[in-house]
Amino acid sequence: MTLHRIHDGGVFDDATTDERRTRVYVRSGELGLATRADVTLMEALSEQQPPQRLHVVGPSGAGKTSLILRVVVDLVRRQLAEKFVSPGPDGKLDETSVENLYHNGVRVLGELDVDLVVAMHPRFETVDRVTEVIERLAMPRIDVPELPADADDPALARILERRMQRDGVDAALETVIDRAAVEELQVLYHERDRDLRSVLKLAHGAAAHALGRGSDRIEARDIRAVVAGTPQ
């Protein structure tokens, strides 16, 4: 069954590598987002005078690292010099670790004659050493846009579809997950501080729940059951 393959292959789950996240990354323009973080980053690295100091900011799972790696791949394809990329905190580090990273890592790297792009979770912006280094290096901020709250055309559906396509799952999204379930996930995304990673983990758990009750299609009740911690 298709849903078995999706679950066993972790197609919807975000517990994966940066390489795969880059492969399944959906650009802002494809999601209908007005703010094009990928375009802004590309223009800064390819058109402005080097070295650039750039700060990519967004919540967990927003695609900060994937955005940076995707742009670097595009730059290499254009036969431009490869840029130095430093993926930053992913939201799981504590404030002390982040302070050390910025003071002993970003600050020193910022003194080298190379472009520097740092990804960071917004909750660390007020950490003293982080603020100090950002101001010292005069790092412009590029915000990774959040998914729109349009339930009639959920952007999350396009993210799930891309994952299926990249993993070779030849099936329409609606055959494995009900539209109401996608809308439920989109609502949870906004309720959970735009944490896409946790929402994708819910989708993965919902696949297991649906299979456990003998279904090959995720429904909204499977999402709610996973949130509530209800067994099949």
Same domain, residue pair 66 and 138: yes
| Mean pLDDT on 118-132 | 78
Asked if the model's pLDDT at residue 108 lies above 70, the reply is: no
Collapsed DSSP state (helix, strand, coil) of residue 122: helix
How many residues are there in the chain? 232
Same domain, residue pair 43 and 119: yes
pLDDT at 113: 67
Q: Which residues contact 132 (CB under 8 A, 6 or more apart)?
A: 102, 103
| CA 140 – CA 112 distance, rounded (Å) | 17
Last residue within a domain, chosen from 86, 119, 143: 143
CATH number at residue 178: 1.10.8
| CA 213 – CA 231 distance, rounded (Å) | 10
pLDDT tier, 147 (very low <50, low <70, confident <90, very high otherwise): confident
pLDDT tier, 215 (very low <50, low <70, confident <90, very high otherwise): very high
**Do the beta carbons of residue 138 and residue 2 sit within 8 Å?**
no
Mean confidence (pLDDT) of the chain: 77
Asked if the model's pLDDT at residue 52 lies above 90, the reply is: no
| CA 42 – CA 217 distance, rounded (Å) | 39
Same domain, residue pair 40 and 103: yes
The most confident of the ranges 21-30, 102-111, 179-188 is: 179-188
Cα 26 versus chain centre, distance: 9
- Token pair 């209908």 is at which residue? 32
pLDDT tier, 153 (very low <50, low <70, confident <90, very high otherwise): low
Last residue within a domain, chosen from 99, 119, 143: 143
Q: Which of 203, 184, 181, 170 is nearest to 61 (CA)?
A: 203
pLDDT at 103: 59
pLDDT at 89: 42
pLDDT tier, 30 (very low <50, low <70, confident <90, very high otherwise): low
Same domain, residue pair 122 and 169: no
| 22: in domain | no
| CA 207 – CA 37 distance, rounded (Å) | 31
Judged by average pLDDT, the poorest of 14-18, 21-25, 92-96, 131-135 is: 92-96
**Do the beta carbons of residue 148 and residue 33 sit within 8 Å?**
yes
Asked if the model's pLDDT at residue 33 lies above 90, the reply is: no
Domain count, the chain: 2
**Do the beta carbons of residue 101 and residue 88 sit within 8 Å?**
yes
| Mean pLDDT on 160-183 | 92
- Higher-confidence residue: 18 or 192? 192
The backbone region for 17, taken as left when phi is positive above 0, alpha when psi lies in -120 to 50, beta otherwise, is beta
Residue 46: how many CB atoms within 10 A of its CB? 15
| CA 136 – CA 127 distance, rounded (Å) | 14
Q: Which of 78, 81, 129, 80 is nearest to 108 (CA)?
A: 129
**Do the beta carbons of residue 163 and residue 23 sit within 8 Å?**
no
CATH number at residue 139: 3.40.50
| 195: in domain | yes
Measured distance between the N- and C-terminal CA atoms of the chain, rounded to whole angstroms:
18
Give residue 67's domain range: 36-143
- Higher-confidence residue: 109 or 142? 142
- Higher-confidence residue: 112 or 14? 14
| 26: in domain | no
Same domain, residue pair 133 and 152: no
When computed from its CA atoms, the radius of gyration of the chain, rounded to whole angstroms, is 19
pLDDT at 91: 42
Same domain, residue pair 107 and 152: no
Judged by average pLDDT, the poorest of 80-84, 167-171, 184-188 is: 80-84
Same domain, residue pair 12 and 68: no
| Helix residue ranges, H only, 48-105 | 64-77, 95-101
pLDDT at 73: 65
Same domain, residue pair 77 and 107: yes
- Higher-confidence residue: 137 or 157? 157
Same domain, residue pair 169 and 117: no
| Mean pLDDT on 94-102 | 63
pLDDT at 224: 93
| CA 59 – CA 148 distance, rounded (Å) | 14
